[in-house]
Chains A and B, each alone.
Chain A
Amino acid sequence: MSEKELGKKWDRCLADCAVKVGAGLGLGVVFSVVFFKRHTWPISFGLGTGLGMAYSNCQNDLRSHYLLHRSMKVGWTKQQ
């Protein structure tokens, strides 16, 4: 079902976001704890990195259909 694809994408996106954010947070925490003397900026950095990554992934995933891969061609449909 094509209509379920978006939902799946969103699910993936969210899952990925959660993972990335969590990972970033974790890393940030870790970094902050480990490397940066409990500053919060690695946590937020990690969080931000995580979010950003997730956002980018999500966007890529959502766009993936419209991107021309080298091995395939996408048929353009002209409007009007």
Chain B
Amino acid sequence: YSLSPCYVSLALYKCLYGRAHPTNLQHHRHYTSGESSGAAKVVAVGLVTLGSSIGGTVLYAKWDPKFRTAVEKNIPYSDWLLGMALGPNPYSPVTAHKKQVSKFITPKYPTTPPDHLNGSLLCSLNSVLCFCVSEECKECHHHGDTPVPAMVEAVDSMTEGPLKERPAEEVTARLAQQEQEDQDILASVSASLEESLASSAKTTLQAIGAQEAALQAIGSHTHKLKEAMEAEVPPDQKSAQWRDLETALAERRSTVNDAGAALLKARDALDSLRSVIDKAKESKVAAVQPLVLAAEENLHSMVVDLDQAVTKVQSAESEAKIVSQYTELVNEAKRQFQKELSSLTPEIQANWKGLTGKLSADDLNALIAHAHRRIDQLNRELAEQRVREQVHIEAALEQQKLEDQKALDKAVHTATQHSKEEARLEQERKLSELREVMEAEMRTQLRRQAAAHTDHLRDILKVQEQELRSEAEQMLEQETHYRQLTQEQLDNFTLDMNAAYARLKGMEEAIDSHVIAEEEARKAHQLWLSVEALSYTLKTAGSDLPTKPLESAVQAIQDSCCNNEFALALASALPEESLRRGVYSEASLRSRFNSLRSMVRRVALIDESHNSLYQYFLSYLQAALLFEEKQAMPPTQLTNEDLDPFKLLSYASYCLEHEDLELAAKFVNQLRGEARRVVQDWLTEARLTLETRQVVTLLSAYANAVGLGTTQAP
């Protein structure tokens, strides 16, 4: 089909330049005269070319069917045209496919049913289908190229689907499944075969036994008949003999019938066995074949035995027929003789042999005359027979020949059947052997193929390994480089993180410590505040009124310094009165002292021993007359003279004026007697105030110290 374009172009070329050469000249010539005729000429030439090419294609397609198929495949609607012109394509792809399939299916063994062979081959070679296909294609290559794809298609269609390599597990699974199926089929077939074989063997044996029994009966009957015919026995035993004969005849008949029935049954059984064998042959399993072969051989031998027994029986029967004919003739003669005898001597009945004593002389004479006459007759007949002997013998021979021929034919026929059967069995046996050999060879080829495949794969794998190794090394280098970089980055990052973390930790610690310090500071501040509150409460003393009770402030202090023993001790050292009642301020005490002073002056002389009214009067007089300094600076050391109440008062007043309550109290403490009694309360109050003030001062000093101390971290 590759020629067709070339052909077409060639044709065109020829058409154009072979035929159109003059037209070209004409065309040129006409060009000078007019263009329209030139165009018509071109159109005509084109049409002619087209028609000739189509005609040429059709003719060539008629001649070469391959070309036709190619044209039909490549050019649309050409198959319609070619079909119209030439009729349907005898070598269309469908029919070619069928032919190929049939060719494939009928290999070099035309007599054997090839389906199972084909099937077994294909089933066992699923995994190397290409190889199989190529082999078969090599065989069928002489049919041309086009059937190859059809062939592949055929094979494809037979192997159920597109050609692709199945995975190994699927293949082994399929093989295993197939084997299992084969095993099952084999088992079933063998079971059926054995069953039918057994039954047919039984029936055949039965039939053969029946035949032999019939043979025996026929033989005995014939023998008895012969005996009965030839032996001369006394008449009473004769009747017994005849009875025996009759029984023997009956027995023979029955046995012959039995044999016939048994033969029929055996034939039926054999037919069923044959049908079973045929059915078993249809199955595609290879392992069934030897079983089938063996069954067929068994069948054949059974058939042979049966036939032999039947022929024996038939020969015995023919002999018996001869003997019976002979007996019939003898009986006929006897009857004739009897009839003649009875016609001659009507009164004498029954057996003539037993009548020796009962006949008269006439009868005897008549009998003898009759016998003589009979003898003459028989002699004449004998002479006649001798004359006709040859003819009779020839006729008999002819008859014998015919019968022999018939028997021979039948024997030959059965012998040919048997030999044919044997030959077929032999052939099948040889076929199975060959099949095995072929399968073994196929397996070795496959093994070689597989080995070549594995070698090839190994080489390829080695090469790939090298390539992959080099690639892997390169990648590894890159990987290590990247990893180094990332590690460096990671290390840097870790260092930074660590530094940041350390700083953070430091900051946290600083903050914590600051928190602690602040806490301490807060506490100190609180303490200080409470102390300040306390000292403020000290200031709340109005004139001549004590302060507020210090209890709450002290409570506040105690609350604010719950874990500070010193402060707690101090707070608890405050006198009760101050807590409950509060203390007087220094100013009030001073004013009170000023009012006290005149009283003290008045009772200056009164003491334990001098305490009468007169003394009182004197003391009052002294107070009126004595003038001392209002305020006198006290000396650093007191002498006896200084213990005078008036001096003491002035010292105390001076101290009070200079806000030294303590010293004033000390001086006032030196007063004795009634004066002391008078200032007792004032002194107590002064003492209270001093105590309180001292404690408060201590507390505030302490609070200040603590406050100062908290500015530094612990």
Contact = CB atoms under 8 A, between A and B. Distances in A.
Q: Do A and B bind each other?
A: yes
Interface of A: 1-3, 5-7, 55, 58-59, 62-63, 65-66, 76-77, 79-80
Contact of A3 (B606, B611, B616, B681): B681
B678 A3 contact: yes
Per DSSP, are chain A's interface residues mostly helix, strand or loop, or mixed?
Answer: helix
Given A66-B608, A77-B672, A80-B640, A3 B679 contact: yes
Contact of A55 (B599, B613, B672, B682): B613
B596 A3 contact: yes
Contacts of A63: 611-612
Contacts of B592: 3
Given A59-B612, A59-B613, A62-B611, A79 B672 contact: yes
Interface residues of B, number: 21
Interface of B: 592, 595-596, 599, 603, 606-608, 611-613, 616, 640, 672, 674, 677-682
A18 to B, nearest CB: 16
Contacts, number: 41
Contacts of B679: 2-3
A69 to B, nearest CB: 14
A6 B678 contact: yes
20 contacts: A1-B681, A2-B678, A2-B679, A3-B592, A3-B596, A3-B599, A3-B678, A3-B679, A6-B603, A6-B674, A7-B599, A59-B613, A62-B611, A62-B612, A62-B616, A63-B611, A63-B612, A65-B677, A66-B608, A79-B672
Contacts of B599: 3, 6-7
Contacts of A5: 677-678
Contact of B611 (A2, A66, A77): A66
Given A3-B682, A6-B678, 13 more contacts: A2-B679, A2-B680, A3-B592, A3-B595, A3-B599, A3-B679, A5-B677, A6-B603, A6-B674, A58-B613, A59-B612, A77-B672, A79-B672
Nearest to A74: B608
B614 to A, nearest CB: 9
A57 to B, nearest CB: 10
Contacts of B612: 59, 62-63
Contacts of A2: 677-682
Contacts of B674: 6
B621 to A, nearest CB: 16
Q: Considering the complex of A and B, which 10 residue pairs feature the smallest CB-CB distances, nearest first? A: A2-B681, A2-B680, A66-B608, A59-B613, A63-B611, A3-B678, A3-B596, A1-B681, A3-B599, A59-B612
Contacts of B613: 55, 58-59, 62
